[in-house]
Each structure stands twice: as C-alpha cells, then as structure tokens.
Homo-oligomer: A and B are copies of this chain.
Amino acid sequence: VPAPAASNLQIDPERLWGDLMETAKIGGTPNGGICRLTLTDLDRQVRDWFCREAKALGCAVTIDDMGAIYARREGQRRDVPPIAMGSHLDTQPSGGKFDGALGVLAALEALRTLHRAGYETFAPIEVINWTNEEGARFAPAMLASGVFGGVFERDWAAARQDRAGVVFGDALEEIGYRGPAKCGDRHPLSAFFELHIEQGPYLEAEGRDIGAVTGIQAIRWYEVTVVGNETHAGTTPMPRRKDALVAASRIVARIDALAREYAPLAVGTVGWLEVRPNSPNVVPGQVTFTVDLRHPDETVVEAMETELRRALYGIADEGLRVEMKPIWHQPPVVFDKTCVAAVRAAARACGLTSRDIISGAGHDAAYVSRVTSTAMIFVPCRDGLSHNEAEFTSKEQCAAGAQVLLQAVLAFDRELAARQR
C-alpha cells in the first residue's frame, strides 16, 4: 500500500473533540471551565495523559529543565531539525477549555493522523507543551518558551516564585517534570506553528474560519504600589486620610480611560490588585496592582506609559508614595513570512476563508519566533470570550484549525525537502 498524498490526510474532528473534552475534566470547574494552574497536581495529570498518548503513537518523549515536553516523531532525515507544533496545557484560575489546550491537542491529533496513515515526513515532527504560558501562578508568563527563545535566563526562570513563595524549580521537581535537558540548548527547530483560539471578536464578527497571524502587538506589564497611611476607618477624619485604595482606584479608572483615548486598538487593564491590610474597618495603607498596556505600535504603548506616569505623579502630589516597576516588556513580534504564507495557503487548500490578523495576546510563539521560523493559526471563539469559563469554539472550528495546522506543517516540510535535496 503506497503512502497517501499529504493533501488527502484528514484529521478526525471527533477524536480531537474527544481529547479536548476528556482532558478538560482534569481541573474541570462546575461552570464548564478549567482551573489547571501550572505545576499543580492537576497539571501533572494532564502532562501524564499527554506523555502516554504521545508514546502510544511511537513518539520519543523528552522533558527539559523548564518542564517543557517534546514528543518527537522521526521523519526521513534525523539530521534535519524538527518542525514543531504546540502550545500549553496550563490555564487561568477560571480559564476555558480551549486556550492552550487546543494548540497542544490539535498538534497531537495532526501527529496521530500522520501516524495512522503511515505518512513519512522529511523532517522529524515534534509536538511541544510549554510550561507556565499563562503566568497566572508564576510571573512572567511564557516562562519555558521564554528560556527556549533566549529571552529569560535559565537560573532566573527556575527561581521564580508564586505568591505563596513556592519556587518554580521546586514545583517542577515536585510534580516530577524537571527534565535533564537544558531548555533551548542544542534543540534547533526548522519551524514552529501554534494553533490558538483568537480570544478576540474579529474572526467571528467577519465570519472567517481562519486567522493567519502575522505578528503580536507590543505588551508592557508594570507592578504599581501605592503606599498611604493605614488607620482607623471610624475615627480618622476624611481630610487626615491617605487612603491607598482611593488613590489606586483613580489610577484604575484612568488606565481604562487612557486605553479608550487610543481607540480602537489600544487596551489597558488592571487585572490583579491586592489591598493591605484588607480589613473592613481599616483605611487601606497599601495597594499593589498590575497594569497591562498593549498596542500593535510600540510608540503608542510608549505614549500610554507616559500618561500613566503622569497619573501616578498626581497621586504622589497628594502625599502618598507611589512606585512603578516594569515587569514585562514585549516589543511587537513579526512572524516569519514563509510560515505565514504556509498558513494562508493551507487555509485556501482546505477550502476555508481566512484573513491576516495581529494577535492581541502574548503566546509561546512570540518567544519561539526569536530562534526559529514561526507562525500562528487562529480560529474564532464565541463572543471573542477567553480567560473565562464560558470560552467556546465549536467542534468544526477546532477541526478546521487542526486541519490547517497539519497542512501548513506538511507544506513547510515539503518545501524543506525541496530546498535540501
């Protein structure tokens, strides 16, 4: 029996959907979402599941010192770096079923399709699960892909702590996923493709099946601390107060207004905020919060930062102490033209409608793109909703994304073969 033509390979929508629903039970919430924070025991369970499935397909599974998992299927040439696909299996505290999981499970399904068909690629194919993409437990986000891409120092990354003081490296050890390989070291890739839900409203609004992601907007994160004066809520006259929460509240409202001033593309968010001492009858003495500013144009983010600083000076003028610390800065990412073209062509070949799109969110692909040719594939999600238990992408939409992922990888593989032979 001859091997089938690449264009005849079809992923199985039901099997992919089954995997999505089955793994969604690991950390599943009553409202239909997933709470599977990185390096928890739930994360271990889904990692175990992934390793088992990959091994059943004959893959060699390796783990590096950042806990990233690589499932490798050999091709004709062992000396050619693998073409990789993947995303992440960790979630937000009340995340949905598709953010991250779709990228890993669709990659697994693509690999399974190759395996069942007995199709031999030119390059090896790798499916990757990156650690701590969400950054919900350990900051910064995309820790493993960041080390892989040379953005973060290995030791610095391993020493990150969660809010309870647990060290990243120890947590990896604890769940048995601290591998011997050095993340990113002697691990070249020929390319990296990441399928992901859009997490925004545009594809759905325009009725397109596929987004060919050309890049990622600039992102800056800050941690702001406002220090006022902790005092009794019943007995401290209003003019004598230095209420850190009242001051912080003005900044929160200002950030919202600021992003609207740079409409329609700018976004600004305070997602995390903590009050001290956080007692009903104590005027808050200290408030710490994160600020997330984004825009496709770096100069606009710059301008927003300036405006934010101005607002903070206003608080300082009222006699409170304010400190702003940049904690993450991602310049705009431009993906590889060849890879993006492969995605566009794959969508066309599958009879799907597509558009070019810029990602509003950071993704592992952003860091991986520093060391290899990279692109992303977006599929729509209902109401643009993500980081929410109600996040939803249909079985057909997931399947379309997985099919495009497989075809893009195969197209890239064919081109690689043509170039090297």
Contact = CB atoms under 8 A, between A and B. Distances in A.
Contacts of A30: none
* Residue picked from A200, A231, A238, most chain B C-beta under 10 Å: A238
A275 B274 CA distance: 8
Contact of A245 (B135, B252, B360): B252
Contacts of A274: 278
Given A230-B388, A387-B232, A279 B275 contact: no
Contacts of A76: none
Given A135-B280, A292-B281, A233 B387 contact: yes
Given A240-B201, A243-B256, A252-B245, A279 B93 contact: yes
A9 interface: no
21 contacts: A92-B277, A94-B276, A200-B237, A201-B240, A231-B385, A232-B361, A233-B267, A233-B269, A233-B292, A233-B387, A239-B264, A243-B256, A245-B271, A245-B273, A248-B249, A249-B252, A271-B280, A271-B281, A272-B278, A277-B387, A285-B388
A181 interface: no
Interface string A256-295: 1001100110111111111111111111110000101010
Nearest to A290: B280
A236 B384 contact: yes
A87 interface: no
Given A252-B246, A256-B246, A276-B94, A362 B234 contact: yes
A93 B234 contact: no
A333 interface: no
A219 interface: yes
A243 B252 CA distance: 10
A26 interface: no
A299 interface: no
Contacts of A221: 280
Interface of A: 92-94, 134-136, 139, 141, 198-201, 217, 219, 221, 229-240, 243, 245-246, 248-250, 252-253, 256, 259-260, 263-264, 266-285, 290, 292, 294, 359-362, 384-389
A268 B94 CA distance: 33
A59 to B, nearest CB: 31
Contact of A141 (B200, B276, B281): B281
A6 B246 CA distance: 51
Contacts of A234: 199, 217, 219, 267, 292, 294, 359-362
B267 A271 contact: no
Contacts of A219: 234
Nearest to A246: B256
Contacts of A268: 238
A412 B83 CA distance: 90
Nearest to A233: B269
Given A269-B280, A282-B387, 7 more contacts: A231-B387, A232-B360, A234-B361, A238-B259, A245-B271, A246-B252, A246-B270
Contacts of A266: 238
Nearest to A389: B230
A275 B278 contact: no
A234 to B, nearest CB: 4
* Residue picked from A256, A290, A389, most chain B C-beta under 10 Å: A256
A252 B235 CA distance: 18
B235 A199 contact: yes
A230 B279 contact: no
